Amino acid sequence: MNDVLFSDSPPTMVLPALTAADLMTPNPVSLGEVLTVKEAIAFLVDKGIGGAPVIDEAGHPVGVLTQHDIVVHDRETVSYLTPDREYVADGKPLQRHLGDDFLLEDVDRTEIRDLMTPVIFSVKLDTPANKVIEEMVNLKIHRLYVVDDIGVLVGVVTALDVLRHLHIQKQD
């Protein structure tokens, strides 16, 4: 291994995966389209993922929500309540004065269907691995969803999945 790392020529990387099915992570988690932005943030953070497909009530994919979508939305919409207003919690006024340094966020109740990307980029299970990578590069996306022959979502291929499958070719 050290010989490969310190040789004069760079090592050759190979991708033994042949198809999208070989590259994918099966059964991707998804978000319901009526979740709020705050709920979606908690979901993505808890799962440690940067995006997820959004499904409607019938379970059909209707879009994708990514961290980028949330950041853009937050930059455009975040607002704070002014400390001089009377605050109410559960219908009762708060009993203490909030200092000038205290900020209360106006909770964003936007549903994720209003900020998601309303399209799912997908490939079939038997799509060649090199075509999957080409699609990701051409579309400038970090994930492609994998569907079966009837269009049911069965997996996801992320940039990390591709990197995970790359191996250094052994020199003879």
Domains of the chain: 11-83+108-168 (3.10.580.10)
Mean pLDDT of the 71-86 span: 68
Give the integer Cα–Cα distance in Å for 11 and 16. Answer: 15
For β-strands 31-32 and 167-168, DSSP reports them as unpaired
Task: Give 110-147 pLDDT, tens digit per residue.
Answer: 889 899 999 999 999 999 999 999 999 999 999 999 98
Q: Give the pLDDT confidence score for residue 155 in this predicted structure.
A: 93
CA 21 to chain centre: 20
Using only the alpha carbons of the chain, give its radius of gyration.
22
Q: Give the pLDDT confidence score for residue 61 in this predicted structure.
A: 84
Q: How many CB atoms lie under 10 A from the CB of residue 108?
A: 16
Q: Give the pLDDT confidence score for residue 172 in this predicted structure.
A: 62
Convert 131-158 to b/e letters by CB count within 10 Å (16 or more is b).
Answer: ebbebbeeeebebbbbbeeeeebbbbbb
Identify residue 106 by its one-letter amino acid code. Answer: D
For the cut 80, the answer to whether the pLDDT of residue 9 exceeds it is no
pTM of the predicted model as reported, rounded to 2 decimal places: 0.71
